[in-house]
Amino acid sequence: MAGIELRDVSKRWGKFTGVDRFDLTIRDREFLVLLGPSGCGKTTTMRMIAGLEEATEGDIIIGGRRVNDLDPKDRDIAMVFQSYALYPNMSVYENIRFPLKIRKVPAAEHEARVRRAATMVELTEFLDRRPSELSGGQRQRVALARAIVRQPAVFLMDEPLSNLDAKLRVSTRAQIKNLSHELKVTTIYVTHDQIEAMTLADRVVVMKRGLIQQVGTPTEIYDRPANTFVASFIGNPAMNLMNGTITDGVFQADNVRIPGLDAIDGPVTLGFRAEDAAVAPVGQIAAPVYTMELLGDATMITVRAGGALVAVKAAKDFRVAIDDRVDIAVPPGICHLFDSTTGERLYA
Amino acid sequence: MRRSTFAWFVAPSVVMMLVFIAFPLMSVLVQSFSLTQPVVESLTVETCTPSFVGQNCIQETRRQPVLDENGAIVTETRFVGLANYATLVEPGRALAALGNLNLNELLSIDFWRALRFTLTFTLITLPLILVVGLGLALAVNNVTRAVRGPVIFVTLLPFIITPVIGALAIRWLFVSDGILTRLMEHWSGQDIFMFARSWTIELLMMFYRVWHVAPFAFVIFYAGLQGVNQDAVEAALIDGASRLQRLRYIVIPHLMPLIVFVALIHLMDAYRVFEEVIGFRSEAYVISLQYLTYDLLMPDNTGNRAINRASASSMLTMIGIVILLIPLLRHTWRQHRGTR
């Protein structure tokens, strides 16, 4: 059991900066998700914690111990890889047992510990198989079992669900959530999938180009994105963002007029979430329909307004033809305002 | 692909294989069971010379080859069963020598002498080549990318050199006034003759073979190393595996099919060791099975070639290779069955 402290950790390759002064304290037993598009430095951050990459600067402290100069094996961590990284020549049993065998855990304990780990991930009936005889989901569960069998202080998971198909991803995600609840081990989880981040995390770190954009609980990040990047990265669909100007508390843009905003005059980026707005007889946005998508539980209406495509969720039986005009109600209370040049949130 | 198209595509190579491999092989097999000799006739000649009381007659029986109308010697070929093999192997003498535990006696038979060296040579060079090749591949894989090209080139040089030239080069380094012999004499303070004893010659031959073939193993293993799953290596690193354990549990299992392949090729090659015997002019001390066959094929003082015995000798060489390959082939077969 251990907390992790990252003090101004950076990774540079020549002139290129992969991770820029990453500073964060991860509490003991916390489930932290590093979220961002590819190349944002999330995997590099994790690999530095694992010891697979050396930090160019800064201190990495696990359980109160500076580990920068320790080998990966001495950091008391376990890692799950996107590609499963199983040992193809060993059976499932041998794969799970490998960390115990290598670390000279007394042989008498192996059987029981391997079985316990296999039971947790529901693999007991596959112990004699080779990895090549398993499905993707089963393989990733072997990797999970191999990680938990040693009871490390920290779990690192590098996009463990990315190679699975959509259905398996959902069930394995639930399994990981359940495991983490049961094991109560500090976990760092890297993903580019915001749904995984939202569903699994105690806290989410959103990253972009090596820099932390925002750290917060999933709710905080969803409800109060720190900038337009986070706003557009989190949520499905992403937050609607429109560029316009405020004059006397009224936001105006192409096809848009939202009065009642408490803000100083000037250009801003205004955002709101599709599910917060609604189709109404009279609304702040009036524009022709660009497209209509049936989602089953709702109908997504997209219009062109404020120089962007703006989506809004309507009732599941709502129907409209393309190019028909609709009115969308966007009350000022659901609006987020961002600086139109820096993208930073205004009026925190 | 349609069956007839397929047939047309493989036909040339099947014909080539039949003409240049299968038929000669059959011919060698048949010849090894037969004996070709000149037909000899006995001729009784009475020579009479006049003498004081009549004539002196001497009757003389001469054996001479039968000649045909062109004056060429007529030969006949008989089926002799295993006689050629028996002449080579001399089972009676060999068994007696074995019974007396008299190795020198056994090794005085050319075949057993050749077999002893061929087996020693093959079985000692095999592990050395695998280890040296793998060592080189791992070393090159770990040097920085910038120097990798030149290092690979230098490593491959021994492989590129023509075998006989390479063997001669080594010989010249170690002959009595060669540089290395002089150097060793300087260090040890005594006269050294590397080519005066069987075991020193054998040592040099094996050294040469390892030097010559290890680059081949290196190239194969180096290519194989590029395909090692890096995630698995990193997983093992985190699981706590040392460098040696990663080699044992991840790298070697990954390379196993290639190791078997190199071993197969090397066994086939080394069992037919020949260049070394010629290059090191070792025939007085050490001969190989392949050299034995060659020696039987060379005309002797009377111009005869022992083609039938040579055939038997090469059949025995082939059988030896097959026996050596059986364990490896069985391994490959089991892998093949396992992955299906």
Distance from CA of B150 to the nearest CA of A (A): 25
Residue A198 lies in a domain: yes
Q: Please report where in the chains the tokens 């669909």 appear, as a residue.
A: A237
- A184 and A42 co-located in one domain: yes
Nearest CA in chain A to B241: A102
Q: Which of B230, B231, B239, B259 to mutate to test the interface with A (most CBs of A within 10 A)?
A: B239
Average pLDDT, chain B: 88
| Contacts for A250 with CB less than 8 Å, ≥ 6 apart | A257, A258, A259, A260, A261
Residue A251 lies in a domain: yes
| Contacts for B298 with CB less than 8 Å, ≥ 6 apart | B305
- A253 and A224 co-located in one domain: no
Which amino acid would we find at residue B314? S
- A97 and A119 co-located in one domain: yes
Residue A77 lies in a domain: yes
- A150 and A257 co-located in one domain: no
Q: Cβ–Cβ of A83/B229 closer than 8 Å?
A: yes
Q: Which of B231, B238, B250, B331 to mutate to test the interface with A (most CBs of A within 10 A)?
A: B238
Which parts of chain B register pLDDT below 50? none
**Does ipTM come in above 0.90?**
no
- A332 and A218 co-located in one domain: no
Q: Cα–Cα distance between B77 and B84 in angstroms, integer?
A: 13
Which amino acid would we find at residue A76? D
pLDDT, tens digit (0-9, with 9 covering 90-100), for B154-182? 888 888 888 788 888 888 888 878 888 88
Number of residues that make up chain A: 348
Domain end position, chosen among A174, A199, A230: A230
Which chain B residues touch A51 with a CB distance below 8 Å? 238
Nearest to B238 among A72, A82, A88 (CB): A72
- A121 and A221 co-located in one domain: yes
Domain holding A300, by residue range, is 238-339
Residue A121 lies in a domain: yes
- A207 and A280 co-located in one domain: no
- A214 and A270 co-located in one domain: no
Average pLDDT, chain A: 89
**Burial class of residue B128, CB neighbours in 10 A (0-12, 13-18, 19+):** middle
Beta strands in chain B (DSSP E): 34-38, 40-51, 54-65, 75-79
Nearest to A87 among B240, B250, B256 (CB): B250
Domain end position, chosen among A230, A251, A280: A230
Q: So what's the pLDDT on residue B264?
A: 92
The answer on pLDDT for A188 being more than 60 is yes
Among A59-68, A291-300, B134-143, B297-306, the least confident range: B297-306
Whether A88 has its CB under 8 Å from any CB of chain B: the answer is yes
Q: Which of A76, A79, A110, A159 to mutate to test the interface with B (most CBs of B within 10 A)?
A: A79
pLDDT, tens digit (0-9, with 9 covering 90-100), for A215-226? 999 999 999 999
DSSP assignment of B99-141, as one string? HTT-HHHHHTSHHHHHHHHHHHHHHHHHHHHHHHHHHHHHHHH
Residue A348 lies in a domain: no
Residue A345 lies in a domain: no
Domain end position, chosen among A230, A249, A284: A230
Here the CATH number for the domain that contains residue A31 is 3.40.50.300
- A137 and A62 co-located in one domain: yes
- A167 and A222 co-located in one domain: yes
Distance from CA of A114 to the nearest CA of B (A): 14
- A58 and A191 co-located in one domain: yes
Cα distances from B253 to residues B247, B249, B250, B335, in angstroms, run 9, 6, 6, 12
Whether A328 has its CB under 8 Å from any CB of chain B: the answer is no
Q: How many domains does the structure of chain A reveal? A: 2
Q: So what's the pLDDT on residue A167?
A: 84
- A158 and A208 co-located in one domain: yes
Whether A102 has its CB under 8 Å from any CB of chain B: the answer is yes
Nearest to B85 by CA among B121, B31, B22, B37: B31
pLDDT, tens digit (0-9, with 9 covering 90-100), for A232-281? 999 888 899 999 998 888 888 888 888 888 888 889 999 999 989 888 88
Q: So what's the pLDDT on residue A227?
A: 92
Q: So what's the pLDDT on residue A348?
A: 55
Whether A103 has its CB under 8 Å from any CB of chain B: the answer is yes
Residue A183 — pLDDT band, cuts 50, 70, 90?
confident
Nearest to A83 among B231, B241, B256 (CB): B231
Q: What domains appear along chain B, each with residue ranges and CATH number?
A: 110-339 (1.10.3720.10)
What is the CA B183 to chain-centroid distance, rounded?
32
Which chain B residues touch A53 with a CB distance below 8 Å? none
Here the CATH number for the domain that contains residue A261 is 2.40.50.140
Q: Cβ–Cβ of B234/A52 closer than 8 Å?
A: yes
Residue A347 lies in a domain: no
pLDDT, tens digit (0-9, with 9 covering 90-100), for B254-281? 999 999 999 999 999 999 888 888 888 8
